[in-house]
Each structure stands twice: as structure tokens, then as C-alpha cells.
Amino acid sequence: MSRFKDRLFEKMTVPETAPPTASSASPPAIAAEEPRTSPGRLLNAQNRIIESDSKRIEAESKLTDALARIKDLQATKATGEALELPVDRLHEIPGRRRFMASEKYAELRENLRHNKLVHPVVVLAREDGEWDIWSGHHRWDAHKDLGRTTIRAVLGTAEDENEARDGAFFANLMQSDLTDYEKYIGLKRFQEGHAELTQTEVADRTGLSKQFVSELYAFDRLPAEALAIIEQNKAMIGSTAVKELASISEAGKGQRVTEAIKLLAEKKLDQGQTVKYARVAETPVRPTAKPETFKIKAGKSTWCDVRRVKNVMRLEFKDEAEAAEAQEAIRQHLERFAQSRVAEKV
């Protein structure tokens, strides 16, 4: 505690103004006019001493208050009780907050509107006498939204930033509603702080299966654009589907995977359909043949409608008997036509 107290005191005390020396830089162009008389200079010096002492006393008072709160929190930690801390003296550290859907947060806030906080937030002491949130960010948010000025908290212990970051990650990791994407981000940060660990060793340290860790790292293999979409919709996809999509992307279908992720974000596909969409090659659109039509007239009336699309011809007559007669005539004509084609090739 003495080393922490010394660091805290250094942060919060105000250094005395050093007297000018012969080697000091030239005075600023605009400076306050110094008294010219001896009594005036003496009074000015006294005022500076009083001002410096006042700032020092104020800093020491803040230090005393901070140390008192630390002592209280340490006592509550031993007994399992919590202490009320001002919400405006708690701070968020990037990377420690877990995702919570807006509807879930609304449920939490409304619960706390009518009920006491059962699980206190966990905080770490800062050198400025305030507190960093270790876990409980959404409970803290809800207290602020409800206009509460204090929140129940207990003191955590971390030797350094790596331990603080790892502790926050492990606390969130076992939460059933933590998304696979957040677990992936947490694993990446954990391994950045422990670069000597292999993927297998990361699995051992976190308690996750090797297969699950492998699936989580598959997020790394997605196209950057697809990953950016997931960042904005953290709960949209699980690691199993991501592993399949990553393999499809590495097979040369990165653009198709990105398109599938976009459709998933727009709720036009579910996860299973997303994988199928990415896997199936896009079918080229064939140009549609325009039909050719004409009419055979008998006088002013239409006797037969003729329609042809590519190698298919369709004839429609007004009368079934005429269709039967025309059929025989068409057969004979086609036979003669076919024979003439054969003769041309001989």
C-alpha cells in the first residue's frame, strides 16, 4: 500500500515553483508586473506561499479521502460487503465492456428502477483517487440513466494492466449471453498480452475446448468488410457458421461471403442459409430469347397464330377440325422440306 500511496501522492500534489537560476531562459514577453518596493515584494512572496500551501492542502485532502475509500473497500472485500461510490468517479476502460442487446439493457434498467442492486460492480483503484470499472459496466450505465448518484461496489485486485484486462475477459467469458464475436475479440487481446502462448495453450488457460478456440479464431480469416459488418451486429452469427464461411472465403469466394454476411445482417437469410448462399457459385444469367409471332389470316379473320422461341414452334388454330387438316398438310410439307435438305447435302 505504501508504494501505491507514494504514487498517488505524486499524482495529486502540486510541486513548488522553483526559483529562477542564472541559466534560466529569458522571461516571457508578457509577465505580471512585480512589486517595486520591499514591502510589496515581501507581501507578494507571502501570497505565493499561501497559494502553494492551499493547493498542497487540497491535494493532501484528496489523497486522504482516496486512501480512506481504499481502506473501506478493502475492509468490505474481506467481509464480502459493498461500499457506495459516486457514479461520476467511476471510469470505463476500453475493451472491458461486453455486448448487451438494447432490449436486454432496457430490462436491466427497469429492474434496477424498482429493485436494489444485488451484484455490486467491481472496481480497481486509480492513482488519481478515482476508480476504473473492472466489471459491471451496464449496471453503472443503468444507475446513471436512472439519475442515481452512487452505486454499490467492491474492490478488485490486479497487479498490472494485463492482469486487469485478463480478469475482465475471464469474468465475461463464462457469461452465457456473451457473443462468439466478443469471445474472439477477448481471445485476441488475451494472446496479444501472452504472445508466448500457442493456440492450444490459450485453450488450456481459458478452459475452452480446442475446437471452439479454433472456431473463434476463424473470425480472423473472414474478409475485412464482412468482419466490419459483424462488428456492428455482434450477435448476428456464431463461430460454427463463421468457420465454414472462412473456408469458403479462402477457396476464392471472399466477395460471395461478404454478400452473404450483408444479407444476414439485413435479416434476409438465417445462418444456415448464409453458408449455403456463400457456398453456391452465382449462376450466370442467361439472356432471354425474344419470341417471334405472326398470324395467318383467311380473309380478314385470323386462321392461325404462330409463335416461335428458338427451336420451338407453336401453332394455334381457331377450330379443332382445321387444326387436324392443317396437321396433315404441315406433315407433308415438312417431309418434302426435309428431303430437299438431304438432297442439298449429297
Q: What is the pLDDT of residue 14?
A: 44
* Alpha-carbon gap, residue 201 to 198, rounded angstroms: 5
* Alpha-carbon gap, residue 133 to 236, rounded angstroms: 27
Task: Judge whether residue 55 has pLDDT over 90.
Answer: no
Higher pLDDT, 312 or 194: 312
Q: What is the pLDDT of residue 262?
A: 96
Q: What is the pLDDT of residue 117?
A: 87
* Alpha-carbon gap, residue 136 to 123, rounded angstroms: 9
CATH code for residues 1-11+45-160: 3.90.1530.10
Q: Which of 106-115, 240-249, 286-295 has the highest mean pLDDT?
A: 240-249
User: In this predicted model, what pLDDT tens digit does every residue of 96-121 receive, in sequence order?
Assistant: 777 777 887 888 899 899 888 888 88
Domain ranges of the chain: 1-11+45-160, 179-284
Task: Judge whether residue 22 has pLDDT over 50.
Answer: no
CB 190 within 8 A of CB 166: yes
* Alpha-carbon gap, residue 196 to 189, rounded angstroms: 13
Using 50, 70 and 90 to split pLDDT, how confident is the model at 26?
very low
CB 16 within 8 A of CB 52: yes
Q: What average pLDDT score do residues 46-66 get?
A: 65
CATH code for residues 179-284: 1.10.10.2830
Cβ density class 251-269: b for 16+ within 10 Å, e for less? eebbebbbbbbebbbeeeb
CA dist list (Å): 94 to 102, 186, 218, 219, 325: 19, 12, 23, 21, 87
CB 183 within 8 A of CB 176: no
* Alpha-carbon gap, residue 341 to 335, rounded angstroms: 10
Using 50, 70 and 90 to split pLDDT, how confident is the model at 276?
very high
pLDDT above 90 coverage of the chain, percent? 29
Using 50, 70 and 90 to split pLDDT, how confident is the model at 64?
low
